């Protein structure tokens, strides 16, 4: 088991694992099983470790772990309802402006507005507008997205902020 501990880069994680193994009585079969799992984890590539980490967090119901002392919600006793409420409280900060439809008479005005806030030429802007139900601008702040949406609505377009 000391071979497993020596390959762990984080001193704090090594310390916690040593404490866990020294205070928890285990049978030889469970210790062997844990040792096999640890050995298999050490053979994974960095991308496989990243995938495993993501999968484990999803299965345990843990969001991104910012410190090594974080405990899964199911283990700490707090319910899944609390984590759901925390996610609802987070306000969206990045928006996309999606053009759903526009009046046929206002097509030229919509194309001009799209050209105004993008770096597209006349032909590219026309093709973009004609696609409809298309995202015309991505990754905007709330204020920028609302300003663009208001301009497009003023010329007769139906716009949705995503």
Write out the E strands in 54-126: 95-102
CA of residue 15 relative to chain centroid, distance: 31
CATH assignment at residue 105: 3.30.1390.10
**How much is the pLDDT for 18?**
65
What the block records as the tokens of 34 is 């844990």
Residue 85 lies in a domain: no
**How much is the pLDDT for 17?**
62
**How much is the pLDDT for 6?**
55
Q: Domain check: are 63 and 104 in the same one?
A: no
DSSP-derived secondary structure letter, 71:
-
What the block records as the tokens of 66 is 């910012």
Residue 80 lies in a domain: no
**Which residues have CB under 8 Å from 34's CB, separation 6+?**
26
Residue 118 lies in a domain: yes
Tens of pLDDT, residue by residue over 10-49, are 666 666 566 666 654 545 566 788 888 888 888 888 888 8
**How much is the pLDDT for 57?**
78
**Which residues have CB under 8 Å from 65's CB, separation 6+?**
57
Write out the E strands in the chain: 95-102, 134-140, 157-161
**How much is the pLDDT for 70?**
47
CB 75 within 8 A of CB 107: no
Weakly modelled stretches of the chain, pLDDT under 70: 1-30, 63-90
Last residue of a domain, one of 43, 73, 103: 73
Number of domains making up the chain: 2
**How much is the pLDDT for 38?**
81
pTM of the model: 0.44
Structural domain harbouring 22 = 2-73
**How much is the pLDDT for 2?**
52
67, 3, 75: which is closest to 38 by C-alpha? 3
Q: Domain check: are 52 and 101 in the same one?
A: no
Distance (Å, rounded) from C-alpha 44 to C-alpha 149? 47
Residue 82 lies in a domain: no
**Which residues have CB under 8 Å from 110's CB, separation 6+?**
99, 102, 129, 152, 155, 156, 157
**Which residues have CB under 8 Å from 39's CB, separation 6+?**
4
Q: Domain check: are 13 and 55 in the same one?
A: yes
């Amino acid at each position: 088991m000391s071979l497993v501990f020596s390959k762990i880069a984080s001193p704090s994680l090594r310390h916690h694992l040593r404490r866990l193994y020294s205070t928890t009585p285990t049978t030889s079969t469970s210790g062997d099983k844990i040792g096999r799992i640890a050995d298999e984890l050490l053979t994974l590539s960095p991308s496989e470790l990243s995938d495993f980490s993501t999968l484990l967090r999803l299965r345990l119901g843990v969001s991104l772990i910012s410190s090594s002392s974080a405990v899964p919600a199911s283990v700490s006793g707090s319910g899944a309802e609390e984590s759901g409420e925390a996610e609802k409280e987070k306000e969206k900060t990045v928006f996309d402006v999606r053009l759903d439809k526009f009046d046929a008479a206002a097509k030229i005005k919509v194309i001009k507005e799209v050209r105004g806030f993008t770096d597209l030429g006349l032909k590219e802007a026309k093709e973009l507008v004609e696609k409809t139900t298309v995202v015309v601008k991505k990754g905007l702040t709330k204020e920028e997205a609302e300003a663009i949406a208001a301009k497009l609505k003023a010329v007769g377009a139906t716009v949705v902020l995503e």
